[in-house]
Amino acid sequence: MVKPKIIIHMHTSLNGKINGPHLQTEESRASQIEYYKLFLGSEPFYNNHCGWLSGSTTTEVNFTKNKEPELNPEAEEVPTGDFLAEHDEAIHYFAIDRNGSLAWDKNTITYFDTTAHVVEIIPNNVSNAYKDFLRRMHVSYLIAGEETLDFALAVSKIRQIYGKDELLLNGGGEINWSLLKAGLVDELSIVMTPIADGSTESASLFDGNPKYNDIDSVAFSLIDVQKLGDGSLWLRYSVNNSA
C-alpha cells in the first residue's frame, strides 16, 4: 500500500503538554497562530497535504462537545464501502472514531481561517444507524478494518482518494503514539511555546495505551530548530525506526 508522508505536527508547552491551563495564556495563543501558519497559513511550510488527522478525544473536546448523535435505529441498510459526500472544501479534517460516537451537527469544522470538510475514519462494524447518521449529515467516511481500525489502510486510502503526498497528524497523544508505534510516522514537528503549567491531568505529546500498543521507547534525529517570531521554538525530527 502506498501511504503519504505522515508528519506529527503539534503545539506543546515547555513540558510537553498539549492541553491544560497554559492554552488560555497570551503566550500560548501567540504560538498557536505560528503553529497554524506552518500548515494552513497563506504560505505554509507543509503545503502538499489535503488536511489533518485527529483522534476522537481531540475531536470531542474541540468540536463535537460530547453530545450524542441522533441515530435512527430503523434506518434502511446503507450501501457497503466508503461514503464520499459532495463538498467544496479543499482541506479535510480526518476524525478517528473507533466506536461510531461523534455527534456532528454539520459536515465542516473551522480552525482559525480554515474551514475543513469532515471525513470520519471508522471500522466496518460501526452500526448501520451511525453510518446512516453520517450520510444524513453529509459527513464523509472511510472504512479501515473490520472490527478494529487498520491505520495503515486508513492513511493509504487517504493518499489514494485525495491524491496528496503528505498528511498531518495533530493529536491527541494516544493517536500520535499509536501511529508512531505502527511505523507510519516519518517526521515530528513541534511548536513549543515558552510557557508551562503544573497540571497533572493534561495530555502529553505522546500517551501510550496498553490496549492498543506498547510503551517501548522510540528515538528521533533532529532535522532543524528555528526560533519563531513570538519566541516559540519550532523543532523538526525524523523518526529513527520508522517503517
Same domain for 89 and 129, yes or no, is yes
- Give the total number of structural domains in the chain: 2
**pLDDT-derived band of residue 178, with 50, 70 and 90 as boundaries?**
very high
Q: Please give the average per-residue pLDDT across 205-222, as a whole number.
A: 90
pLDDT value at position 213?
82
Whole-number mean pLDDT of the chain?
Answer: 96
3-40 per-position pLDDT tens digit: 999 999 999 999 999 999 999 999 999 999 999 999 99
CATH number, domain of 181, equals 3.40.430.10
3-state secondary structure of 51: strand
> pTM of the entire structure?
0.95
User: pLDDT band for position 215 (50/70/90)?
Assistant: confident
55 φ/ψ sector (left φ>0, alpha ψ -120 to 50, else beta): beta
The reply to whether 76 and 44 lie within a common domain is no
Q: Return the sign of the alpha-carbon dihedral for residues 115, 138, 151, 164.
A: negative
- Residue 243: per-residue pLDDT: 45
Q: What are the pLDDT digits (tens) for 194-205?
A: 999 999 989 999
pLDDT category, 131, cuts 50, 70, 90? very high
Residue 71: the pLDDT is: 98
Q: Does one domain contain both 68 and 132? A: yes
Domain boundary among 147, 164, 181: 164
Q: CA separation (Å) from 124 to 79, 121, 128, 198?
A: 12, 10, 9, 41
